[in-house]
Every structure is written in structure tokens, then in C-alpha cells.
A = this chain, B = another copy of it.
Amino acid sequence: MKAAIIGGGVIGGGWAARFLLNGWDVAVFDPDPDTPRKINEVRANAQASLPAISDTPMPDIGCLTFSQSLEESAQDADYVQESVSENLALKHRVYAAIQEAAPQVPIGSSTSGYKPSQLQEGAVNPASIFVAHPFNPVYLLPLVEVVPSHRNDPQIIDRAKEILTELGMFPLHVRKEIDAHIADRFLEAVWREALWLVKDGVATTEEIDEAIRMGFGLRWGQMGLFETYRIAGGEAGMKHFMAQFGPCLSWPWTRLTDVPEFNDALVDLIAGQSDAQSGQHSIRDLERIRDSNLVGFLRALKERNWGAGRVLNAHDAARATAAAASAPPAVSQAPMTLAQMQVLPGWIDYNGHMTESRYLFAASETTDAFLRHIGAGLDYVAAGHSYYTAETHIMHLGEARLGDRLTGSVQVLAADEKRLHLFIRIGTEGEAVATLEQMLLHVDMKAGRACPAAPEVQERLFAIREAQATLPRPSAAGRHVGQGRA
């Protein structure tokens, strides 16, 4: 699949990175000679963060090219995303050139201000031009507002939403076209009020940022406005909340009925306060801090399968289903590679290495995959039986670092109806960074004691044990701590 990215700024670069990391080939067109540098900087940020919110291995990164013309970029493209400046005449010229080369290709516009009917004016094929408005950083935030007009072909809009979903995004279908769509209306309202507060000397930019991120900002990342207020209404519900809060609308709480004069003095005031607040960090640093925070939020939401986390889990699941075609064989004579992981920011210690408990975590992930493989996964546990780890020995052989891809492989050293003796290798780029030897016991969880595994689990397990019986015994197996090395 090939995407054409028209416009190579922060937004276009974010789109390019999202497509590339999801395995699409990307052709970028932007006459600015500095475009390759800018795109590669955004891509580096994306590569440092997007894989960290995926629990399935990412596809191979797509091929990035820089086109000499709009027509060249659009050639054979399956999707075009336009992110040029907010200049309607320029956008019209871009669409005309693209539709001359590829009249049917879906063209999404990143515009935050124009309505789709404005974008479509004078087009050869208005049916394939629509708004696909993303949020910065495009490679991490799921939201994309998809806004069609009545002139759009619904099938093209459906296909565009499918493509955006395949990129891990959340296409929000905006049913009525309206200036600034939905989200930016709120941003505009807050921005206008913030300018008043700064101009009037009520608060500095830093105080305003703290007022947001220490309070309601944390609420809004996981529930929105209405669900948050629904809770505030308590048992009496949403109507009760509105009865309390509604009348405030006529109170003199905001300056919104007026617009501050936007002059150099206001710009200088705000730019100066912003320097004082954030000037100790470079923009590059701030980008990395922001991305790391967003990865943390998104992973928290994934763990809870909520909001943006639910979107990401669905994306993982779709990808895992696609990968199931390449599942490991039921029985293997070699150690079986069953887990693929990536070292995440929270796994790093103050030495800059993977923290030692994460080696055991990686082994647990591998053992869990092995247990699923022999039919003792979550359903089996829900029915009352499980394998519990009794004892583990860990050898540290190397150091894993942030972003490293880890594999976990299993060799069965021994197994009987109750006991399972495993040797696990955690490796990166073919080198073991740790080996773990584990003894697990099959347990009746209700009775709280060991018991034989189910016959079908024993059958699968013993087949692997027999197949691996001739594998050499690892030298680290049977070691005790402090034993001399061979």
C-alpha cells in the first residue's frame, strides 16, 4: 500500500511516520528543500514512541521516497493526505494536480478550519475529497475527525475510515460540516479565554498550564466532558448536575463575549512568559517528554481497556489475528520462540539498563505464551487450574536497553503430570541477555494444592518434551548461585 503525503511540516511528517511504521510505503511531496530533514526528525520521534504502545510486533517499516511533483507522489497511491498551509486556493491547486494523475484516490485534508464543501469547490471529482483532521503528535494520538459533505461518495468515506483504523487511529465521523469541526471549537474557546487571563494579568502561561494539567486535564484524557460531569451529578444523575451547573451560564464567569485585541504587545507578553516557563527545555526535548508521557497514558489506558486504550487493543488484536497465520508449530524439536517484546520506558533503571525484575517479567510472558500453547491459558485458569512458579534461577548475561526487541524461547527440561521444568532464553538480536530456569507446579486453585494437569494439556506438553528430549542440556541448568562457571 502506498500513501502520498502532501506537505512536509510537523503534521505531514506525523502522517508520514504513522503510515511508514504501519508498513505503508510513503511518497512525500513538499517543495521546501529542508523537507527530508524535517520528515526524518518526526520519524525518529515516532520510532522512539509508537512501537512502545504496541503489544504485537510492528510490521516492517515502509519505504520512504521524496517526490519531485504532486503528480509523481500521487501515482499508484491508495490514499492521499494533504497537510499544506491553511490557504484555500493552494489546496484547490493541489487537489486539481492530484486528480489529474489519480482521479479516484481518496484525498484527506488535515485542515483545521475549512469545511469539506469548501475544499471540494471546483474539483473534477469532489466525491473523493474530505476532511481528515488529526491531532499533534499525529503518530501517537488516535483522534482523526473525518468530515464529509453531501457531495462525498459514502463508500470512499468508509474506505478512508477503514484505512485510518488500520493505522491505529480513531476516526470520529463528524456528521454535520461546521467551521473548525468539533475539537478545535473547544481549543479555540479555551485559547481565547487564556489570552484574556494573560492579558489581564490574572495568570501567567505557566499558571494556566498548571491549572489544566494538575486537574481537569487528567480527567479529560480518559473520560470527556459529559461522562466526567455525569459522575459529578452522583446518584441523582445528569439532570441533577445540569440543574446545579446550568444557571452559571448567565453568570459573568467568562470573557468569552469579547475578543482580545491580538497585537504585538500580547504576543510578546505570552512568548516571554512561555520562555520563562519552558525555555530550559529545547523543542526536541519537549517533544520527547510529551511523547514519553503520552506513551505512559496510553499504556495505562490499554491495561484498563478504556478510551484510547481500547482503540489500541483492538488494533493489536487485529494485527495478532493477521499474524496468527505465522503461529509456531504445535510441537518443535528446537527451543520454541513464543514471545516478542520491546523494552519500554518504564522498564529502564537508573543505570539506563533494563531493570532486573523485567528479565523475570519477560520470562513470565514467555512462560504464559507456552502455557497458552499447551492449552493452559486464561480459559483454563478461569476453570480453576493453573501452573504456579515454585522456583526460579536467573543468569544475567548481557544488558537490554530502551527500545530493544526481545524474544523469549522455551526448552522443556522435564515434565510429568504435575511438574514442569523449563529453560527460558531471553534474547536480543540473537544473543541471550538472560537465561532462566523454572520449576512450575500444576495447582488446583480452589483446593490450594498440586494436582495432575488435564489429560489434553499433558498430551500436548509431553509431545513437546519428547520432541526436545535430544536437545543438549543448557550448562546453566542446575546451577546454584555462586557456583563456579564452567
User: Which A residues are closer than 8 A to B by beta carbons?
Assistant: 9-10, 113, 135-136, 141-143, 145, 170, 172, 174-176, 178-180, 182-195, 197, 200-203, 205-228, 230-235, 237-239, 242-243, 245-254, 256-257, 259-260, 262, 267, 270-271, 273-275, 277-278, 283, 286-287, 289-290, 292-294, 296-301, 303-304, 306-308, 311, 345-346, 350-351, 355-358, 360-361, 363-364, 378, 381, 386, 388-396, 414, 421, 437-439, 445, 477-482
Contact A294-B222, Cβ < 8 Å, known A183-B212, A212-B186, A239-B271: yes
Contact A234-B482, Cβ < 8 Å, known A179-B252, A182-B202, A186-B193: no
Q: Is B275 within 8 A of A238, CB to CB?
A: yes
Q: Is A296 within 8 A of B290, CB to CB?
A: no
Docked complex Cα distance between A242 and B267 (Å): 7
Contact A220-B217, Cβ < 8 Å, known A248-B113, A481-B392: yes
A-B contact pairs, 10 of them (CB 8 A): A135-B216, A182-B202, A216-B220, A221-B221, A226-B274, A237-B271, A246-B262, A249-B262, A390-B395, A478-B480
For the complex of A and B, the 4 pairs showing the least CB-CB separation, nearest first, are: A209-B224, A296-B300, A217-B220, A143-B215
Contact A351-B176, Cβ < 8 Å, known A213-B307, A216-B183, A480-B393: no
Q: A191-B225, A226-B270 are in contact. List 17 more A-B contacts (CB 8 A).
A: A142-B214, A143-B215, A182-B208, A189-B193, A190-B225, A209-B224, A212-B224, A218-B294, A223-B289, A228-B290, A238-B274, A300-B300, A351-B381, A357-B358, A392-B393, A478-B480, A480-B480
Our pick among B259, B270, B278, B308 for the contact of A249 (Cβ within 8 Å) is B259
Docked complex Cα distance between A292 and B12 (Å): 35
Contact A170-B210, Cβ < 8 Å, known A358-B357, A481-B391: yes
Q: Is B345 within 8 A of A231, CB to CB?
A: no
Our pick among B176, B286, B293, B445 for the contact of A202 (Cβ within 8 Å) is B176
Contacts of A303 in B (CB 8 A): 296, 345-346
- CB closest chain-B residue, reference A235: B283
Contacts of A214 in B (CB 8 A): 141-143, 170, 172, 307-308, 311
Contact A253-B180, Cβ < 8 Å, known A230-B286, A381-B350: yes
Q: Is B391 within 8 A of A211, CB to CB?
A: no
A238 to chain B: closest CB distance in Å?
4
A192 to chain B: closest CB distance in Å?
6
Listed residue (A188, A219, A286) with the most chain B CB atoms within 10 angstroms of its CB: A219
Docked complex Cα distance between A275 and B209 (Å): 32
